[in-house]
Structure 1
Amino acid sequence: MNPLTRRSSLALAALPLAAPPLIGQTLTKLRVSVIPVLDVAPLHAAIREGYFAAEGLEIDTSTTAGGATGLPGLVAGQFRLVFSNTVSILLGIREGLDFRFVAGAAAGTASPPDIFGILTRKGTGIATGKDLEGKRIASNTRNNIVWLRGMAWVEKTGGDWRKVNTVEVPFPQMADALAGGQVDAAIFSEPFVTGALASHGDRLERIGWPIHDTAPGSTVAQYVAMKEDVERNGEVFERFARALFKGVDWVSARRGDPALLDLIAAFSRVPIERLRQVALPAYPKAVTVAEVQEVIATMARFGMGGRFPAPASLIFRTANA
């Protein structure tokens, strides 16, 4: 062997072992419906850190106004996966739509600060659900997880939820509607809780933690797909879950880290300064029978009951992390 060839061989032997190159490999594209909230941070982390690409997946995110908005697109085949709140998913299932939970997404934390908050104007004397009877309360939509936990808080603090008038107001307009007197109270989700208190702190105050005060640590949202799709293409969804769960680990290891705040600011467009004050959700990987049963039971208490399949049948194997 001549010296040049020998040196080349030694240099190649010294290189670290690497994964096979993806050159020429076609990535499987998955279109995922999301909303720009804190709950989807692990998905964006997995995209940015290359976890999906390493699984041979290309994630095409489509942003919608709310989790329920993406579900019709899932049924129509516009999306392969949708991030949505648990109540909207279960209402679709109750109506016969074959949604399947593919992965967990967000849950409340075991102790305050909560990711949901009930705010009212200072000086109104409103402090409990009883005080809200006959009054107007804003929710981004009716019959979703925000509204459900808000009504549970009304009940828990002595009020009759049937006597509270719900007004649908998008989160970005909620603080102005409350400060301007169009509603008497509002159920906010982060980062809008922190934003409302930052922009209208002289006029608004928080009076409750809807999740912590009624069902600490309870579920909020998941990723779902259609039953037929996950049964035919289970291996694709397994790859999705593996990459997403690495994103969960990345986010969970960086709470309070500037790198996580930079990531969230990029997709949510919430300033870093405000994110430093925001309460983050818990990021579960699994979806459990117990959490689905709890939501179904709570829905029944607040006028959204009906016949549901056995919760275990709704959870695809990827969500048994």
Structure 2
Amino acid sequence: MLAITQRAYGGPEVLEETEVERPRPGAGEVLVRVAATSINAADWKLRSGQLGEFGSMPLTLGLDVSGVVEELGPGVFEFQVGEAVYGVVLGGANAEYVVVRAHTLGRKPAGIDHEHAAALPAAASSAWQALAAVGAGQRVLVHAAAGGVGHLAVQIAKHRGAHVVATARAVNHEYLRDLGADEVIDYTATDFAEAVRDIDLVLDLVGGAYGTRSLRVLRPNGRYIDLQGSDAEGDPRYERFYVEPAGVTMREISTMVERGLLRVTIDQVLPIADIAKAHRLSESGGVRGKIVVTAWNSLS
């Protein structure tokens, strides 16, 4: 089968199309024929080596998958061959086929295509799980709210009854209000640390120096959830978050999508041949929503 692999860490130019052996699913696993994937910050950070070594070379990246069940491993009864599924994989989705643990998959939401489904798994799962404790009446601050995780987090927090404050460039303010944000702050013109107070939870999708500044806006018993790595580590309110692939999360996301409560924004759709371009776009910042990459298989 075809896959996008890399033999060394580096820039987008290390990504290359190669022929590799098609995997077989083991016990509790599913072989998925990939229709589409999407780019997450973790993809280009892994590619460049910023997150340290990740498996052995040659390496195949890709955390999001939407596709069709091709083969079932022993002990898998909850899915059928030919069924449309989606989910988070721990690498390997930038290929014609990928093996996925069955208990981490969900059925693709009805009413959306594989491109939109592929934009959801890692980003929506991160938002859903990171905001699990948010309840009605709480004040939530989302940084980088127009990005992949951020625009979904705004909707999920609002659905849970929170008052949502979002930081984003001015060009995205109307878009975020349409998604449910109650207040939007232009971080290029206003210091959010001076503009908001009494926040119950900060979801930081920027990291770095945003950490200690975000702590200033929290209530004494508030929570600061960091997805990127920041200078707030060590504070008792600090929590470093990592998404956990889970079928139950995918089912909750599917329900929201099918009920019209959650919509994913796609900035661009590119073919797998342009995956290096997709990495460059994601790495440059300023993407509204997600960049989706269609695989060699046309399934939509």
Shorter-chain TM-score: what band?
0.3 to 0.5
Query: What is the TM-score normalised by the length of structure 2?
Result: 0.34
User: Which structure is higher in strand share?
Assistant: 2
User: Which structure is higher in helix share?
Assistant: 1
